[in-house]
Amino acid sequence: MKEIIGKELLYKISSLLFAVLLWFFVTNVQNPIMETTFSISVNYYGLQEGLVTGDKPQNVDIKVKGLRTLITSLGAEDFKATVDLSQAKIGDGNYPVQVPMPDGVELVSRKPSSINLRIDNFTEKQLDIVVKIINTAAQGYSSFEPVLTPSKVVVRGARKTLESIETAQITVDLNQAMDNLALSLPVSLLDKDGKAFPENFVEMSPKSVQVFIPVIQNVPAKTVSIKPVLEGKPREAWQVSRVVSEPETIKITGSLDTLMNIDQIMTQPIDINDLHENLITQVALVVPPGINLLYEPTVKVVIQVKEAPVEKTFTDIPILQENLSSGLKATLGTDKVSVTLQGSKTDMLALVGAKVKALLDLTGLTPGTYHSEVKISIPQTIQVIKVEPATVEVVISSQKNT
């Protein structure tokens, strides 16, 4: 009986060992451990507001290992590399790359294991757009100055990066044109050496602009000024201080006889009745018979207004003597003056007689008779229109003789 029980136990132990060996065989032969490499994207996070990185790698290479059945089911999208920039400071720094692993997968290596980055202030720069013209219009035709909308771009990025950007440029190919060109063209950035600057390092707005280039058959042309025509009057106590058209000139074409008699192009009347704040408006041009315009027949007009100056006269302002030498006495032909001042209504209302001072500078005068100019001391925003009398007779005498 004992022999039978011993044999059964031996069979069971042998079966268990066989099962274990079989599991190892299946695991290591049929589903072995394997390694593979992925190129995965890098996510940068935590950078403080107002800071920006310069050029930063977008991918890292990782080598991982695990059971073949698991590894073969994974792709690059199942891994994410991260770089924590929450402690980043301005300047160059080295920041570790972290790559979390799915269950059952082991990270063998990552290249690079850390990334060198330059941290800088985030700023912006405005650039005028330069137009580069290539080729020419068709024979017998001429092209004229381009009009850009808009004419500037704003570039944003790291301060050091922006310092190396010199020019924003578009390239126009005239390509034997025989008619006006209206194009939408991309803006290119150039460094200080005139080489193309990689746009993925910065943000640019806008990335393309509209350009209009007049192309006409060769005929007589002339550049004349644009004169805005105003109609009406501003609100009471207000006046027009400045009127500007954009552009200020325009190129016109026509016969020589017609061009000789035209020196300016008028706008349609602009109503300024009751105007009491600055006005910006688009207005059409009045085109004389026999004249053609190279550009759009409308212009922008800026009309600036300000409070009309107010005049006020202060009478019986006492004359104050200044800088009379010791031991001398000054006798004035008159000791009071009237002063007429001009300024804005607000400034004049705030001005009282006590703030108006008439001064007579007696520096260096010796005994004798003089005619000295009266100086008026007032706030800088107010203008002296008239002083009566403007000069007074001064008799300087010695106090001893007196």
| Same-domain check for residues 127 and 211 | yes
| Same-domain check for residues 264 and 318 | no
CATH of the domain at 259: 2.170.120.40
Condensed to tens digits (0 to 9), the pLDDT of residues 344-354 reads 887 888 887 66
| Same-domain check for residues 130 and 57 | no
The predicted structure's pLDDT at residue 402: 47
Residue 142, domain member (yes or no): yes
Look at residues 165, 195, 217 and tell me which one is the last residue of a structural domain: 217
| Same-domain check for residues 130 and 210 | yes
Residue 7, domain member (yes or no): no
Look at residues 79, 112, 145 and tell me which one is the last residue of a structural domain: 112
| Same-domain check for residues 201 and 235 | no
| Same-domain check for residues 155 and 181 | yes
Backbone angles phi, psi at 373, to 5 degrees: -80, 140
The predicted structure's pLDDT at residue 401: 54
Strand partners, 111: 61
The predicted structure's pLDDT at residue 374: 92
CATH of the domain at 383: 2.170.120.30
**Number of alpha carbons in the 13 Å side-chain half-sphere of residue 349:** 3
Residue 260, domain member (yes or no): yes
| Same-domain check for residues 46 and 107 | yes
The predicted structure's pLDDT at residue 400: 65
- The separation between CA 297 and the C-alpha centre of its own chain, rounded to angstroms, equals 29
SS (H, E, C) the chain: CHHHHHHHHHHHHHHHHHHHHHHHHHHHHHCCEEEEEEEEEEEEECCCCCEEECCCCCEEEEEEEEEHHHHCCCCHHHCCEEEECCCCCCEEEEEECECCCCCCCEEEEEECCEEEEEEEEEEEEEEEEEEEEECCCCCCEEECCCEEECCEEEEEEEHHHHHCEEEEEEEEECCCCCCCEEEEEECEEEECCCCECCHHHCEEECCEEEEEECEEECCCEEEEEEECCEECCCCCCEEEEEEEEECCEEEEECCHHHHHCCCEEEECCEECCCCCCCEEEEEEECCCCCCEECCCCEEEEEEEEEECCEEEEEEEEEEEEECCCCCEEEEECCCEEEEEEEECHHHHHHCCHHHCEEEEECCCCCCEEEEEECEEECCCCCEEEEEECCEEEEEEEECCCC
Residue 19, domain member (yes or no): no
pTM of the model as a whole? 0.51
| Same-domain check for residues 101 and 131 | no
User: What is the residue range of 234's domain?
Assistant: 221-307
Residue 150, domain member (yes or no): yes
The predicted structure's pLDDT at residue 71: 85
| Same-domain check for residues 276 and 329 | no
Look at residues 201, 217, 233 and tell me which one is the last residue of a structural domain: 217
pLDDT tens for the chain, residues 1 to 402: 555 555 566 666 666 665 555 555 555 556 788 989 999 999 999 988 888 887 778 899 999 999 998 888 888 898 999 999 988 888 888 999 999 998 889 999 999 989 998 888 888 899 999 999 999 999 888 888 899 999 999 999 888 888 889 999 999 999 999 999 999 999 999 998 889 888 777 889 999 999 999 988 888 889 999 999 999 999 988 899 999 999 999 999 888 889 989 999 999 999 999 999 999 999 999 999 999 888 888 999 999 998 888 888 999 999 999 998 888 898 999 999 999 998 888 788 888 766 889 999 999 889 999 999 999 998 888 899 999 999 999 999 987 654
Residue 83, domain member (yes or no): yes
* Total of domains in the chain: 4
Residue 10, domain member (yes or no): no
Using the structure block, give the residue that is written with the tokens 């050029």.
55
| Same-domain check for residues 381 and 393 | yes
Residue 56, domain member (yes or no): yes
| Same-domain check for residues 302 and 316 | no
How long a stretch of residues is the chain? 402
| Same-domain check for residues 346 and 377 | yes
Question: What is the distance between the alpha carbons of residues 281 and 301, in angstroms, rounded to a whole number?
Answer: 5
